[in-house]
Amino acid sequence: MAIKFQYNKTSLQQQEKQLKVRVRALPTIKSKESALRMAVKKTKGEVEKLERQLEEEIQGYQSMVALWNEFDPTLITVKDVRLSSRKVAGVVVPELDGIDYETKPFSLFNSPSWYAEGINLLTTLATTGIKAEFFSLKLEFLEFARKKTTQKVNLFEKVQIPGYIDAIRKIKRYLEDEESLSKASQKIMRENIAKEALKNKKEEEDL
């Protein structure tokens, strides 16, 4: 991205102002990137942990596979997934507050004795699965925010700040050269005026 500027004092002031804004903002953006990077790492660990836990829970229930044919899966449904939000380094991040289930009533006398345990097992599996899915989505969200922040850090650090410094240097050099030329011109003009005045004076004396 090329920095647009003009070779005058107004443009110089604008470039200096823009440079100051970015130099001042850079440490804050870097801190934000660091905080988001840590949040990404932590969330990634949560996702891996929950995925392992879900796999272990499914493996642990393999012994009951034959019984699941007798189970009525409509007995339990997810009623609500409660979410809230909090800020991480100025970025609004979703939080999982809880999962509400609805269990249909069933006859303890006419249903198999393990139905109650089956409902508990399904609740555990569903909770782990929903948490794993939620943290995966949260990870994607944080990764996107972190990438955008990293892009801004790179834009400031590698493009805009060096660009403004270069523009300021060029404008200052041009203005200095212009001033030197102006001073040189003024000196020549003064010398010429002095010579002309001296010449006129001599001509007057000769008369």
pTM: 0.72
Answer yes or no: is 58 within a domain: yes
Answer yes or no: is 191 within a domain: no
Residue 35 has pLDDT above 90, yes or no: yes
Answer yes or no: is 132 within a domain: yes
Answer yes or no: is 88 within a domain: yes
Q: How confident is the model at residue 18 (pLDDT cuts 50, 70, 90)?
A: very high
Answer yes or no: is 39 within a domain: yes
Domain count within the chain: 1
The phi, psi pair for 75, rounded to 5°, reads -65, -30
Residue 66 has pLDDT above 90, yes or no: no
Please work out, in degrees rounded to the nearest 5, the angle formed at the alpha carbon of residue 32 by the alpha carbons of 26 and 33. Answer: 90
Length of the chain: 207
Range of the domain at 61: 27-142
Answer yes or no: is 207 within a domain: no
Q: How confident is the model at residue 112 (pLDDT cuts 50, 70, 90)?
A: low
Could you tell me which residues come within 8 angstroms of residue 53 by beta carbon, excluding any fewer than 6 positions away? 128, 132
Answer yes or no: is 70 within a domain: yes
Range 125-152 average pLDDT: 93
Alpha helices in the chain (DSSP H): 9-60, 65-68, 115-154, 161-206
Asked which of 47-61, 70-84, 87-101, 179-193 is least confident by mean pLDDT, the reply is: 179-193
